[in-house]
Amino acid sequence: MTGGIGFDDELWRHNEVLRRAAGVGPRDHVLDIGCGTGQTTREAARAASAGSAYGVDVSEGAIERAREIARREGIGNVDFACADAQVDLPVERFDLVISRFGVMFFGDPVAAFTNIRRALRPGGRLAMIVWQSRERNEWAVAVQRALGVSAGSGVPDAFSLGEPEVLEGTLGAAGFSDVALTDVEEPVYYGPNVDVALEWVRGFSTTRSVLDGLEPGAAEQAVGRLRETLGAYLGDDGVWLGSRAWVVTARR
């Protein structure tokens, strides 16, 4: 094994797509929803050299790590908060809201996006990326089949905004206008070899939930199937699985 990976590694191709769609300007004040350890927030802060970036996430550990990295990199116009975007946002403070796969788990999506819209100044923009439906994402289907489980399996639904009519309806009901969806077909990266990829996939909430519920022998067999599945996607440049996402843009 040559070391583990993280979400920034997995999603680096999607990160490039979102950066282009967001088009952060030098004077923009940017809100990053579900920022994790802050890669997208820091990049927004660098682009908004005369503005600012503010990242929020419900994970206190991720926010502490985001602050640590920003301090180390000497980025002065960035701030982070452990906060729930469904309720905890300042009003009419931002020119742009961005999110990289951070908006699919809201308990009440319309209420959440209404709150996000209120955080924008009049005419402000939204640019985010979300997964398309589960069956269009090879990575999800492959892992699901290897584990021998049905879709959903009682874990948070990363594909809740996967259907265009759901996305458009949710944003429209929240008061957004000029909603536009762009199809994105980019692979996700699971590591340089099968050992790293297996370690990464075993960290998924779905995988942990399934393996924890199995007898030791059955769990060992499931891990073996996962290893075999991931091996089928190993190429010269590592383990890559297909995915489909939407880049979504809208205005307040």
Span 15-23, mean pLDDT? Answer: 97
Closest-CA residue to 135 (of 112, 152, 156, 154): 152
pLDDT above 60 (res 163): yes
pLDDT of residue 3: 62
pLDDT of residue 150: 67
pLDDT above 70 (res 1): no
pLDDT of residue 148: 87
pLDDT of residue 4: 82
pLDDT above 50 (res 16): yes
pLDDT above 80 (res 175): yes
Query: DSSP string of 103-152?
Result: SS--SSHHHHHHHHHHHEEEEEEEEEEEE--GGG-HHHHHHHHHHT--SS
Domains and CATH numbers, the chain: 7-134+156-189+243-251 (3.40.50.150)
Q: How many CB atoms lie within 10 A of CB 151?
A: 13
The 10s digit of each residue's pLDDT in 57-99 is 999 999 999 999 999 999 999 999 999 999 989 999 999 999 9
Residue 100, Cβ density class (10 Å: 0-12 exposed, 13-18 middle, ≥19 buried) = buried
Q: Residue 22: CB partners within 8 Å, gap ≥ 6?
A: 30, 44, 96, 98, 127
Identity (one letter) of the amino acid at 205? S
The 10s digit of each residue's pLDDT in 99-148 is 999 999 999 999 999 999 999 999 999 999 999 999 999 999 999 999 98
Q: Report CA-CA distances (Å) from 188 to 15, 137, 236.
A: 11, 10, 15
The 10s digit of each residue's pLDDT in 180-226 is 999 999 999 999 999 999 999 999 988 998 999 999 999 999 999 99
Of residues 75 and 4, which shows the higher confidence score?
75
Q: Name the pairing type of β-strands 188-191 and 52-57.
A: unpaired
Query: DSSP string of 52-95?
Result: EEEEEES-HHHHHHHHHHHHHHT--SEEEEE--TTT---SS-EE
